[in-house]
Amino acid sequence: MKRTALAISQFFLKHRNVIVEIICYLFIFLFLYAAFSKLMDVQQFQVQMSKSPLITQFSGLMAWAVPILEIIIAIFLFIPRLRLIGLYASFSLMFVFTGYIFIIQNFSPYVPCSCGGILNSMGWTEHFIFNIGFTLLAVFGIFLYNRQQQNAHAYALA
Amino acid sequence: MKKTDKKSLSFLSLCSLGMLLVLVGLYALSPLANQKIYRGSFNRNFAPENTVTQQKILDLGVNSYYISGLTKDKIYLSNYTTIHHLLRTDMTLKDTQHIRLKIIGLDSVVHPRKFRTRVEPPYFYMMHGIAPAILRGKVNKWEARRFMADSAYYTDAVPIDTTSFALRYYSKSQESYELALETAKEPYFKPNYDILEKQMDGFFSVDGMLHYNKELQQIVYLYRYRNQYMVMDKNLKLLHQYNTLDTISIARIKSEEIKSENSFTLTSQPTVTQRISSVSGIYLYINSGLLSQNEKEEQFKQNTVIDVYDLTQGKYIHSFYLPHYKNKGISDFKIIGNRLLAIHDQYLSVYTIATDNIIF
């Protein structure tokens, strides 16, 4: 048991650069997908958000702010120099989304829907778990990033 | 632990803290933090205690039942999800029978769950506003089939007699819900645009409940978001227009159009003046969503309030409470004689109304 655990952590350490890369691209994909499915029909998204009791007053602003923020974070994650900031931002955004679902599920008298694309077909509980998963993924990404080889571009040059 | 890890950890906690503040702020600013039940500027006149007493309870197992028929000694329950199923029981709730309804001559329907059943012995009806179809069958045979040229789409239908129905439908020309009469003989379909009055949109502002009162032979339509109900005769001619207790005469709703879907939706939580209702004898029973001046909010939340109106004079008589059962309010209720039937989530209750307490 101990040995497999050790093997797994060694595997992650060995391939940390690739794994950080994969995590970043997963986030980029998620954010771009989410942003564009919202922007495709901003009007509908805005109406849906105004149905949510938590953000009803800010729906006009948020309908644009949320997808734009998602795109900006995706750009940050794409540029190696800004990647760490991007990961912190991803963590924060996923944290807010998760908290939002928690509040809606526990305190709202009715449960509105305001998510786009394929995420629309997910139930709130699945969505909650999905978000927690991505929040933890960001944390994992940050810690692996800390262990990234300083001479990361060395072999690119060689 | 590496030094950078410690730094990351403190940075992550900082992010979490900031985001938590954002969430708390959103919550504090939202209507969730200070949820208030609208308090109208009227008083309720409560009937003496023990006017309505719970007699029997039946566990139905699921919460998707509604009361589809009521006679002196029989209760019929239908299910929103399993449309072929009918449950019959008596007032003692001891003898329950499960009946399977057959639909004949209608192979496939797009949204089968839109079927609504009504049992009015000697017939029962299965109505589907999108198919559209009104099917009829004999009680005891339980086979429903088409019996008239029913081609009008509708959102609500109630049988008036065995060959005519009152409908609420969406009229394209009026851009609003309207009432109509559908009959087996001529004129087949006769709308009356003069009854419902739209304020803002043609959906939510005119939304309401349609009833037929057998004893008075009158059709009743009660708005959901304002204080008005209309009484009509069997031919949909307007007889009276009455007000309920509250003073909301303009629907307090906000609706918006989703242009890409060509649909309307409610955006803020509306003030529901009338939640559910029922007619029996000369009375109209309304479960209101509004608090009165002489009620405690706590009490209001633990009970379902029913206001009783006299349909012949449009007068408010009194109100009574139906306490929540296992913390559940009622989703449907019907009255016959001195018996009141209510569905609390998955439980059916029979109440008796002490008639000597009713002021005539």
What DSSP string describes chain A?
-HHHHHHHHHHHHHTHHHHHHHHHHHHHHHHHHHHHHHHTTHHHHHHHHHHSTTTGGGHHHHHHHHHHHHHHHHHHHHSGGGHHHHHHHHHHHHHHHHHHHHHHHHH-SS------GGGGGS-HHHHHHHHHHHHHHHHHHHHHHHTS-TTTTHHHH-
Please give, rounded to a whole number of angstroms, the shortest distance from the CA of B61 to a CA of chain A: 23
Using the Cβ of A142 and the Cβ atoms of chain B, whether some distance falls under 8 Å is answered with yes
Question: Which of chain B's residues have a Cβ under 8 Å away from the Cβ of A142?
Answer: 8, 12
In chain A, what residues touch B38 (CB-CB under 8 Å)? none
Nearest Cα of chain B lies from the Cα of A130 at a distance, in angstroms, of 18
Residue B134's nearest CA partner among B108, B152, B110 is B152
What pTM was estimated for this model as a whole?
Answer: 0.77
Q: CA-CA distance, B197 to B282, in Å (whole number)?
A: 25
Q: Which residues pair with B97 in a beta bridge?
A: B88
- Half-sphere CA count of A32, side-chain side, radius 13 A: 11
List the end-to-end C-alpha distance of chain B, in Å, as a whole number. Answer: 82
B114 Cβ contact partners less than 8 Å away, ≥ 6 residues apart = B128, B129, B130, B131
**Sign of the CA dihedral B221, B222, B225, B228?**
positive
Most A CBs within 10 A among B2, B3, B11, B15, hence the mutation to make, goes to: B15
Query: Which chain A residues are Cβ-neighbours of B268 within 8 angstroms?
Result: 50, 56
Residue-number span of the structural domain to which A86 is assigned: 2-149
Q: Which residues partner with A24 through β-bridges?
A: none
Task: Output the pLDDT for position A101.
Answer: 86
Q: In the 8-state DSSP scheme, what is residue B140?
A: T
Helix H or strand E encompassing B119 = strand B116-120
Q: Note whether residue A33 is domain-resident.
A: yes
Cβ contact A53–B18 (<8 Å): no
Residues 1-40 of A with CB under 8 A from B: none
Q: What is the ipTM of this complex?
A: 0.83
Classify B152 as helix, strand or coil: coil
Read off the pLDDT of residues B172-195 as tens digits, 9 standing for 90 and up: 898 899 999 999 888 889 999 999
Question: What number of CA atoms fall less than 13 Å from residue B299's CA on the CB side?
Answer: 10
Regions of chain B short of the pLDDT cut 70: 1, 268-269, 356-360
Q: Is residue A104 part of a domain?
A: yes
Q: Which of B26, B256, B265 sits opposite A54 (nearest CB)?
A: B26
Report pLDDT for B360.
44
- Residue B46: DSSP 8-state: B
Contacts of A95 in chain B (CB under 8 A): 15-16, 19
Report how far residue B218's alpha carbon sits from residue B160's, in angstroms, rounded to the nearest whole number. Answer: 9
List the one residue out of B285, B256, B258, B290 whose CA is nearest residue B273: B290
- Is A110 within 8 Å of chain B by CB? yes
Confirm if B233 and B218 have CB atoms less than 8 A apart.
Answer: yes
- pLDDT of res. A111: 64
pLDDT exceeding 90 applies to what percent of chain B? 63
Q: Do B19 and A53 touch (CB under 8 A)?
A: no
Instruction: Count the neighbouring beta carbons within 10 Å of the beta carbon of residue B178.
Output: 21
Q: Which chain A residues have a beta carbon less than 8 Å from that of B32?
A: 53-54, 103, 107-108
- Our CA-based measurement puts residue B34 at a distance from the nearest CA of chain A, in whole angstroms, of 11
Contact A53 B22 (CB under 8 A): no
C-beta atoms of B15 and A95 within 8 A:
yes
pLDDT in tens, chain A (158 residues): 677 878 888 888 888 888 999 999 999 999 999 999 889 888 888 888 877 778 877 888 888 999 999 999 999 999 999 999 999 999 999 999 999 888 888 887 666 654 544 555 677 788 889 999 999 999 999 998 888 765 444 444 33
A157 located within any domain: no
Question: Which residues does chain B have within 8 Å of residue A103's beta carbon, measured at their own beta carbons?
Answer: 23, 26-27, 32
Residues of B in contact with A91 (CB under 8 A): 12, 15
The per-residue pLDDT for A107 is 80
- What pLDDT does residue A156 have? 42
Indicate yes or no: CB of B11 within 8 angstroms of CB of A100.
Answer: no
Which chain B residues are within 8 Å of A100, Cβ to Cβ?
23, 26
For A87, nearest residue in chain B (alpha carbons): B12
Tokens of B172: 């394209």
Domain for residue A154, yes or no? no
Q: What is residue B17's three-state secondary structure?
A: helix
- Token look-up 């992650």 returns A12
- Residue A28 included in any domain: yes
Pairing type for strands B255-258 and B274-280 reads unpaired
Total count of domains within chain A: 1
Residue A68 near chain B (CB below 8 Å): no
Q: Look at the block and give the residue holding tokens 């708390």.
A: B24
Residue A107: inside a domain, yes or no?
Answer: yes
Q: Verify whether the Cβ–Cβ distance A107 to B32 is below 8 Å.
A: yes
* Contact residues, chain A, for B257 at CB < 8 Å: 47
Domains of chain B: 37-357 (2.120.10.30)
Chain B residues with CB under 8 Å of A110 CB are 269
Q: Give the span between the Cα atoms of B126 and B117, in whole angstroms.
A: 4
Give the pLDDT of residue A121: 64
- For residue B228, the distance in angstroms to the closest alpha carbon of chain A comes to 26
Closest Cβ opposite residue B23 in set A91, A99, A147 = A99
Q: Answer for the pair B336, B72: CB distance below 8 angstroms, yes or no.
A: yes
- B30 vs A53: CB contact, 8 Å cut-off? yes
Cβ pair B258:A146 closer than 8 A: no
What would the pLDDT profile of A103-138 be if each residue is shown by its tens digit? 888 887 666 654 544 555 677 788 889 999 999 999
Task: List residues bridging with B138 in a β-sheet.
Answer: B123
